């Protein structure tokens, strides 16, 4: 981790030396020398990080490097602020530039002294490495040694008792079927999943199956691992092949080069039906290096590969059969845990609840279940003893030998990450257990923390790439997608989170603050608060905080925010979402380093007039607060990238953009770095013209648009070439949106569109939006059937029509809307018939019919929607719902929806709002 910290700071120093050269007068030499010293040390840090657990001296040295690096970062942040902060004016008769020069000279001298001291410390730390021979290549060869103890895991899996295997039999049977089928071409079966899922065990058991042994003429097992030598692996394949055929291994194998070794392997396998297992493949390069040795001989040969990285499985090309290994189901996990924890005895009643919590904590991960079960089998069968293990799992992972294997195997995934992803991974453990981490929020936080490298794409786009990489490596788990495959929310596996917490605690990366626990000294960098309690913000360990995130909605900061501000001067992230707070003191704007400020879901009524002082602010989120307006000084925040300033007025129908917005100054359109602007009101028509300045926008929501503003708005939108999401709301429900002028060049990348206002007809340009996935039309009151125009959208995933159509019939033609997954028809008052032809809506999963008072029969052809998972009939005529009940409906009528797993109906009441209940 020290290598990651150093790498992170080196990027910062390099940027400072090149981009901010004018600030460094007087201290440039010190910054450059520190940069050089850290660059020289970085070569040793990766190896040292891996081996420090077995070497106390090395652990101390790594900690010294990390602490010194943190101090350099603190000093640099303070220095840049002091040298570059905006000025309001000077003393009367005394020029401002004279004051600034005197002040800067004093600060430069002070910082030069501090940097010189740090430079000497870092040099001494570097010398200590050599003085005490801490990085000794002879004491374990290299960091590969950490892997050696686990390298032959696959071979030992071949000898595990079958009665210890739970939940794998169906998966084993599927693998055996693929291995022994008659397909003559070489097939590669890639078993993919996070560490500890049992990939190696699954493959080993499949190889032991009698049908597999009988089917193949030769079988070879190769453990690749993170650090592999191609020649060494090929030699082991040759040795294995010769010994299994009871032949003497050629004496010249040891002196062969790679080409000769490949030829020998190919010659040995060329005419045979072979099975090769490549266990524990970490990167595509390993597959590329070894793949050429295995001939495509059309003898029905197979290669099985296990990997944690989805990118490896995706790169295997033709003939690849991916086998994503899922976690154990709840019942399977309990059976496995019981076998290990209680042997053949039943679970004591007094431990039942706690045992279930422990199993739940394991999250279906067999390695964790087996290890924790085995550990607890030797503990006293008391709630006190078991609760101690459960409550201190991160400590147990570090200090209990029986859990060493769990931590080591999961740590391999961490160590394999590039240094810039290590920070991103650890940051995820700041969220509470089982917390749903939303993609956009996580990306904004990573950018605010400075974890994301800049380049030809935006930082947000780069951060999304980081997130995909962590998911492909099976370190984070996808929980929700947005209908067309893009991640919406993810989660960290509980055991992986415990590992991350143990690393974070040791590295002072972050800590969690729960149940009034005492804050530790030690310059912790980040903190999350999960439960109520007073924070001792005067504690010296708090002054170096970079992130403060609060997840306790009952916590109040009103009395301490002003004093906290002076302690948390270096804070980059302040997340107070949902806490009990009504005001933000002016002192908060002294947090000069602040990049991310989230006050959403609070009772804040006003922001400080001095908000302009937060010159580094990138994200301001004041959604669903009691704010009425933003201070005029917000227009000075030239680094602002994301601004959320709306209230949702109809939470159940959130998808329809039922928002009210906060007043903003018209000069908001001078913030040309903005990428997100939701929601702004068109004040007297000026905004629609000036919003065209915001050419970097990816998401725009604008309300109170008048009919006469249409041409100006279209002209502005045409300038937004990067726009992905657009919401336009008319000044009133009866106001017409004049948007035809967007033809013929609407934003080409648009993915989500919401038009709220009267439309004379469906705009011609709409059908040209080939990337459009989500469309909402509200208050449109179209007289012509909109479906013929909309069915031309090739990638439409969701369609919401609310008061959008004045006709009586909608007809979905054969072959139309082939990708549509969600369809919602609401408040279409004259609609009395829906026709669905066979072949239409082939991908539909959810159908919502809401308050369509004349629709008293089911859609004709609903029986053709075989993939439909949910039908919701909300505030619909009782004639329709009665026909689906056992009491009043006919069997023939009910049979049309018999294939739909979930059918809901509901009515809205003043007392309880909308009440839904199942109908089937």
Residue 404 has pLDDT above 70, yes or no: yes
Q: How many other C-beta atoms lie within 10 A of the C-beta of residue 583?
A: 14
Locus of tokens 């017409």 = 736
Provide the pLDDT for residue 483. 56
Distances (CA, A) of 381 to 355, 357, 376, 403, 561: 11, 15, 8, 19, 46
Dihedral over Cα of 228, 234, 239, 240: its sign? positive
Helical residues (DSSP H) of 93-251, grouped into ranges: 96-131, 145-148, 153-157, 169-180, 199-208, 210-215, 230-244
Provide the pLDDT for residue 656. 40
Provide the pLDDT for residue 516. 41
Provide the pLDDT for residue 515. 46
Q: Which of 18-32, 460-474, 529-543 has the highest mean pLDDT?
A: 460-474
Residue 224 has pLDDT above 50, yes or no: yes
Least confident range from 15-19, 364-368, 390-394: namely 15-19
Least confident range from 647-661, 787-801, 844-858: namely 647-661
Residues 260-284 pLDDT 10s: 999 999 999 999 999 999 999 998 9
Residues 161-205 pLDDT 10s: 555 578 888 999 999 999 999 999 999 999 999 998 889 999 999
Mean pLDDT over 696-721 rounds to 93
The model's confidence at residue 150, banded by pLDDT at 50, 70 and 90, is: very low
Cα Rg, the chain, nearest whole Å:
32
The model's confidence at residue 696, banded by pLDDT at 50, 70 and 90, is: very high
**How many helices (H) and strands (E) in the chain?**
29, 30
Q: How many other C-beta atoms lie within 10 A of the C-beta of residue 190?
A: 24
Provide the pLDDT for residue 248. 85
User: 509-516 — which CB contacts under 8 Å span 24+ positions?
Assistant: 509/1, 509/423, 509/426, 510/426, 510/427, 510/429, 510/430, 510/547, 512/430
Provide the pLDDT for residue 575. 93
Locus of tokens 């005529």 = 877
DSSP class of 575:
E
Residue 438 has pLDDT above 50, yes or no: yes
Residues 845-867 pLDDT 10s: 999 999 999 999 999 999 999 99
Angle CA 253–256–261, to nearest 5: 80
Residue 92 has pLDDT above 50, yes or no: no
The model's confidence at residue 871, banded by pLDDT at 50, 70 and 90, is: very high
> For residue 825, which phi and psi values (nearest 5 degrees)?
-120, 115
Residues 474-523 pLDDT 10s: 899 888 876 556 788 999 998 889 889 888 888 888 888 764 444 454 57
Q: Work out the end-to-end distance of the chain between its first and last CA atoms, rounded to an integer number of angstroms.
A: 54
Dihedral over Cα of 538, 539, 542, 548: its sign? negative
Residue 10 has pLDDT above 80, yes or no: no
Nearest to 884 by CA among 865, 856, 850, 915: 856
Tell me the C-alpha distance between 734 and 109, whole Å: 66
Q: Does 667 or 916 have the greater pLDDT score?
A: 667
Residue 325 has pLDDT above 60, yes or no: yes
Residues 572-614 pLDDT 10s: 999 999 888 888 888 888 888 999 999 999 999 999 999 999 9
Provide the pLDDT for residue 463. 94
Residue 653 has pLDDT above 50, yes or no: no
The model's confidence at residue 917, banded by pLDDT at 50, 70 and 90, is: confident
Nearest to 530 by CA among 555, 508, 510: 555
Residues 13-40 pLDDT 10s: 777 666 665 666 667 787 788 878 777 7
Distances (CA, A) of 532 to 127, 448, 535, 585: 46, 26, 9, 21
Provide the pLDDT for residue 658. 53
Q: How many other C-beta atoms lie within 10 A of the C-beta of residue 791?
A: 19
Q: CA 706: distance to chain centroid? A: 39
The model's confidence at residue 886, banded by pLDDT at 50, 70 and 90, is: low
DSSP class of 709:
G
Q: Does 408 or 354 have the greater pLDDT score?
A: 354
Angle CA 401–405–411, to nearest 5: 115
Q: Does 386 or 557 have the greater pLDDT score?
A: 386
Nearest to 641 by CA among 608, 678, 666, 604: 678
Provide the pLDDT for residue 138. 46
Tell me the C-alpha distance between 218 and 107, whole Å: 74
Give the rounded percent of residues in the chain with a pLDDT score beyond 90: 43
Residue 912 has pLDDT above 50, yes or no: yes
Mean pLDDT, the chain, whole residue set: 84
CB 615 within 8 A of CB 594: no
The bridge status of strand 487-492 relative to strand 476-481 is: antiparallel
Locus of tokens 């870092």 = 122
Q: What is the pTM of this model?
A: 0.85
């Amino acid at each position: 981790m020290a290598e990651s910290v150093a790498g992170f700071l080196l990027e910062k120093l390099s940027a400072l030396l090149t981009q901010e050269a004018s600030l460094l007068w007087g201290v440039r030499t010190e910054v450059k020398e520190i940069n050089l010293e850290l660059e020289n040390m970085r070569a040793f840090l990766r190896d040292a990080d891996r081996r420090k657990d077995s070497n106390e001296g090395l652990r101390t040295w790594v900690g010294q490097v990390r602490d010194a690096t943190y101090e350099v970062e603190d000093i640099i942040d303070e220095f840049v602020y002091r040298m570059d902060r905006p000025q309001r004016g000077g003393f009367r008769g005394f020029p401002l530039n004279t004051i600034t020069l005197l002040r800067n000279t004093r600060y430069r001298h002070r910082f030069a002294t501090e940097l010189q001291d740090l430079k000497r410390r870092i040099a001494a730390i570097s010398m200590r490495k050599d003085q005490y021979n801490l990085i000794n290549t002879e004491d374990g060869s290299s960091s590969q040694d950490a892997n050696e103890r686990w390298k032959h895991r696959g071979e030992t899996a071949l000898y595990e008792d079958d009665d210890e295997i739970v939940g794998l039999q169906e998966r084993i049977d599927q693998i055996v079927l693929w291995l022994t089928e008659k397909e003559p071409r070489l097939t590669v079966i890639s078993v993919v999943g996070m560490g500890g899922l049992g990939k190696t065990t699954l493959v080993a058991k499949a190889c032991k199956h009698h049908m597999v042994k009988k089917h193949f003429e030769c079988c070879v097992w190769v453990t690749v691992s993170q650090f592999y030598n191609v020649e060494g692996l090929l030699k082991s394949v040759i040795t294995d092949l010769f010994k299994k055929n009871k032949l003497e291994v050629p004496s010249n194998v040891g002196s062969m080069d790679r080409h000769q070794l490949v030829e020998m392997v190919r010659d040995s396998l060329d005419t045979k039906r072979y099975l090769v297992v490549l266990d524990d493949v970490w990167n595509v390069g390993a597959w590329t290096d070894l793949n050429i040795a295995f001939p495509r001989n059309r003898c029905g040969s197979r290669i099985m590969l296990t990997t944690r990285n989805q990118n490896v499985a995706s790169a295997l090309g033709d003939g690849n059969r991916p086998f994503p290994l899922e976690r154990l189901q709840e019942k399977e996990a309990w059976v496995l845990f019981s076998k290990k924890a209680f042997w053949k005895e039943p679970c004591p009643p007094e431990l039942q609840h706690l045992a279930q919590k422990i199993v739940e904590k394991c999250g279906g991960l067999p390695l964790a279940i087996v290890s924790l079960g085995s550990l607890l089998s030797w503990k006293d069968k008391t709630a006190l003893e078991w609760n101690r293990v459960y409550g201190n799992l991160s400590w147990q992972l570090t200090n209990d030998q029986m859990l060493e294997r769990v931590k080591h195997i999961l740590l391999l995934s961490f160590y394999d990450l590039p240094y810039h992803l290590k920070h991103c991974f650890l940051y995820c453990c700041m969220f509470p257990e089982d917390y749903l981490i939303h993609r956009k929020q996580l990306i904004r936080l990573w950018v605010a923390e400075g974890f994301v490298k800049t380049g030809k794409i935006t930082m947000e786009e780069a951060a999304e790439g980081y997130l995909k990489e962590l998911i492909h490596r099976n370190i984070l788990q996808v929980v929700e997608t947005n209908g067309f495959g893009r991640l919406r929310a993810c989660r960290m596996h509980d055991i992986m989170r415990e590992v991350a917490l143990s690393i974070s605690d040791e590295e002072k990366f972050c800590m969690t603050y729960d149940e009034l626990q005492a804050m530790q000294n030690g310059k912790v960098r980040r903190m999350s608060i999960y439960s109520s309690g007073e924070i001792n913000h005067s504690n010296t360990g708090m002054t170096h905080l970079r992130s403060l995130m609060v997840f306790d909605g009952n916590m109040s900061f009103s009395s301490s925010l002003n004093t906290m501000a002076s302690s948390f001067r270096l804070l980059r992230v302040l997340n107070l979402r949902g806490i009990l707070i009504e005001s933000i003191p002016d002192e908060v704007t002294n947090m000069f380093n602040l990049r991310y400020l989230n006050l959403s879901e609070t009772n804040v009524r006003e922001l400080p007039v001095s908000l302009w002082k937060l010159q580094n602010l990138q994200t301001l989120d004041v959604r669903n607060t009691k704010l009425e307006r933003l201070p005029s000084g917000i227009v000075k925040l030239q680094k602002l990238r994301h601004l959320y300033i709306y209230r949702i007025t109809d939470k159940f129908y959130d998808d329809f953009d039922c928002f009210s917005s906060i007043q903003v100054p018209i000069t908001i359109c001078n913030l040309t770095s903005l990428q997100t602007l939701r929601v702004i009101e068109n004040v007297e028509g000026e905004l629609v013209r000036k919003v065209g300045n915001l050419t970097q926008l990816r998401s725009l929501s604008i309300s109170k648009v008048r009919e006469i503003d249409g041409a100006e708005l279209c002209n502005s939108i045409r300038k937004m070439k990067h726009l992905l999401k657009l919401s336009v709301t008319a000044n009133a429900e009866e106001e017409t949106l004049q948007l035809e002028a967007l033809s013929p060049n609407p934003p080409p990348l648009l993915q989500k569109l919401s038009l709220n206002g009267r439309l004379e007809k469906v705009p011609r340009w709409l059908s040209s939006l080939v990337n459009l996935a989500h469309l909402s039309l509200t208050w449109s009151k179209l007289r012509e059937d909109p479906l013929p125009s909309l069915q031309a959208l090739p990638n439409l995933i969701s369609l919401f029509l609310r008061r959008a159509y004045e006709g009586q019939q909608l007809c979905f033609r054969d072959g139309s809307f082939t990708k549509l997954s969600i369809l919602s028809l609401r408040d279409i008052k004259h609609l009395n018939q829906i026709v669905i032809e066979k072949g239409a809506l082939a991908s539909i999963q959810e159908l919502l019919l809401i308050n369509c008072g004349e629709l008293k029969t089911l859609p004709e052809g609903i029986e053709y929607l075989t993939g439909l998972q949910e039908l919701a009939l909300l505030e619909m005529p009782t004639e329709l719902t009665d026909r689906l009940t056992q009491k009043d409906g006919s069997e023939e009528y009910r049979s049309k929806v018999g294939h739909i797993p979930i059918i809901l109906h509901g009515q809205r009441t003043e007392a309880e709002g909308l009440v839904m209940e199942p109908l089937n």
